[in-house]
Structure 1
Amino acid sequence: MEQLLTNIRDCKVCQAHLPLGARPIIEASKNSKIVLISQAPGRVVHESGVAWKDQSGKKLREWLGVDEETFYDSENFAILPMGFCYPGKGKTGDLPPRKECAPMWHEEVWRELENVKLKFLIGAYSTSYYLSSKGNLTEKVRNYDQFLPDHWPIPHPSPVNRFWRSKHPWFEEEVVPQIQKRVREILS
């Protein structure tokens, strides 16, 4: 696993397409229990080099019901983005993750993980990639129990998505408590 993580962190395949250069972000251990499959690091994470060390991460930890120490323990959580590097800024948020990363690296990572109990699919890119069922992100999030016990689709916790959350209060009222309960069960 350590060699694979080093290889991913050294990857420069899309260097020419990245406004701030390549800085692949990934965290995992052979024993990671929960895998967070997200879209791509934002600018703040690119600059710090620490996954989810931004406002999105703060909201995600709140939804999961864990503190930073628990979250950043790779025995608990693996962080596996669809795109490992910051893709750049778009009109209404960051650009989509680069398409090279997931096909190039995900299968190798899955082969190394030995103790996964749950995979959170965070946002539209990971849910589209991993769930072949039809329906938009909202439908997948609402019907999350159809994808359990392996996958749990959730919206991206970005502040940009605050409008989605305000339109769909059921997520934080009904689903988040179930997420927290399941995370506690896995980590205890």
Structure 2
Amino acid sequence: MPPTTPVPSVQTDRRYRSIAGLHRDLSLCRRCAAAGFSISSAPVVQGGAGRPAYLYGQAPGIVEGVTGAPWQGRAGRTLRGWLQLDEARFDATFYCASVTRCYPGRVSGRGDRTPSPAERRLCTSWRVEELRLLRPTLILTVGGLAATAIVGARTLIECVGKSYLVDDAIVIPLPHPSGASSWLNDPTNRRRLGKALTHARREIARLDEPD
């Protein structure tokens, strides 16, 4: 039986009655910009109340910031390949969210900027409300920041290849599919990913089974 890890208790700014209402406010959110952080897009989120699974990443990339939709770039194609889902099935399965909701911009010579702890805190209430409203049965975290937020893992090595129970949801951490990451250069880490993906695909298939 996977260890039970509680969703962090965080005071939210508002309790919403629907995902549609949350989306209306989220589309207007400028918390990070108002706090003085440099962000390079409007908030990016996708999915409705009927999605059975929750996909939680780090932050939108540059392509996602431009299109306003998550997982549109190369990393998204890699992720869908890992999960063996075409784009239509992926979109029908997952409510896609992230630790911070706006593209954080570039760091010269180092790729996309990692959102600061303060920015992550400013976005936390969106996740808390989404999980309260959606009550997904499956959560996939993508990357280290997302795994830390949901299951408290300190490193990817600690959590990839394992599963967790958070309230009533099975949580399966994955590494980030970015080509800039060297994490999968290690054969042991690739085996960890293989184990995680086997479990993730099995749980996705179960979402279609009748109750």
What does residue 180 of structure 1 align with?
A: 201
What does residue 14 of structure 2 align with?
A: none
User: Which residue identity lines up with residue 200 of structure 2 in the other structure?
Assistant: I
Query: In structure 1, how many angstroms separate the alpha carbons of the residues matched to 2:205 and 2:129?
Result: 28
What does residue 84 of structure 1 align with?
A: 101
TM-score when scaled to structure 2? 0.77
Q: Contact 2:160/2:193 (CA < 8 Å) preserved in 1?
A: no
What does residue 64 of structure 2 align with?
A: 45
Identity %: 24
Paired residues for 1:147-162 under 5 Å: 147-148=164-165, 150-161=170-181
Query: In structure 2, how many angstroms separate the alpha carbons of the residues matched to 1:182 and 1:102?
Result: 28
The alignment partner of 1:121 has SS state of strand
Paired residues for 1:37-186 under 5 Å: 37-73=56-92, 76-90=93-107, 91-97=109-115, 98-114=119-135, 116-132=136-152, 135-142=154-161, 144-145=162-163, 147-148=164-165, 150-161=170-181, 163-167=182-186, 168-186=189-207
Gaps of 5+ in 1: none
What does residue 22 of structure 2 align with?
A: 4
User: Which residue identity lines up with residue 131 of structure 1 in the other structure?
Assistant: V
Query: In structure 2, how many angstroms separate the alpha carbons of the residues matched to 1:60 and 1:71?
Result: 10
Going from structure 1 to structure 2, the CA distance change for 1:18 and 1:150 (only over 3 Å counts) comes to same
User: Which residue identity lines up with residue 7 of structure 1 in the other structure?
Assistant: D
Gaps of 5+ in 2: 1-18
User: Which residue identity lines up with residue 43 of structure 1 in the other structure?
Assistant: I
User: Which residue identity lines up with residue 78 of structure 1 in the other structure?
Assistant: Y
Deviation of 1:183 (Å): 1.2
Query: In structure 2, how many angstroms separate the alpha carbons of the residues matched to 1:68 and 1:154?
Result: 19
Q: Contact 2:174/2:193 (CA < 8 Å) preserved in 1?
A: no
Deviation of 1:122 (Å): 1.0
TM-score when scaled to structure 1? 0.86
The alignment partner of 1:151 has SS state of strand
Q: Report the more deviating stretch, 100-109 or 149-158.
A: 100-109
Deviation of 1:164 (Å): 1.4
Query: In structure 2, how many angstroms separate the alpha carbons of the residues matched to 1:84 and 1:171?
Result: 28
Deviation of 1:53 (Å): 0.3
Q: Contact 1:34/1:119 (CA < 8 Å) preserved in 2?
A: yes
Going from structure 1 to structure 2, the CA distance change for 1:92 and 1:118 (only over 3 Å counts) comes to same
The alignment partner of 1:169 has SS state of helix
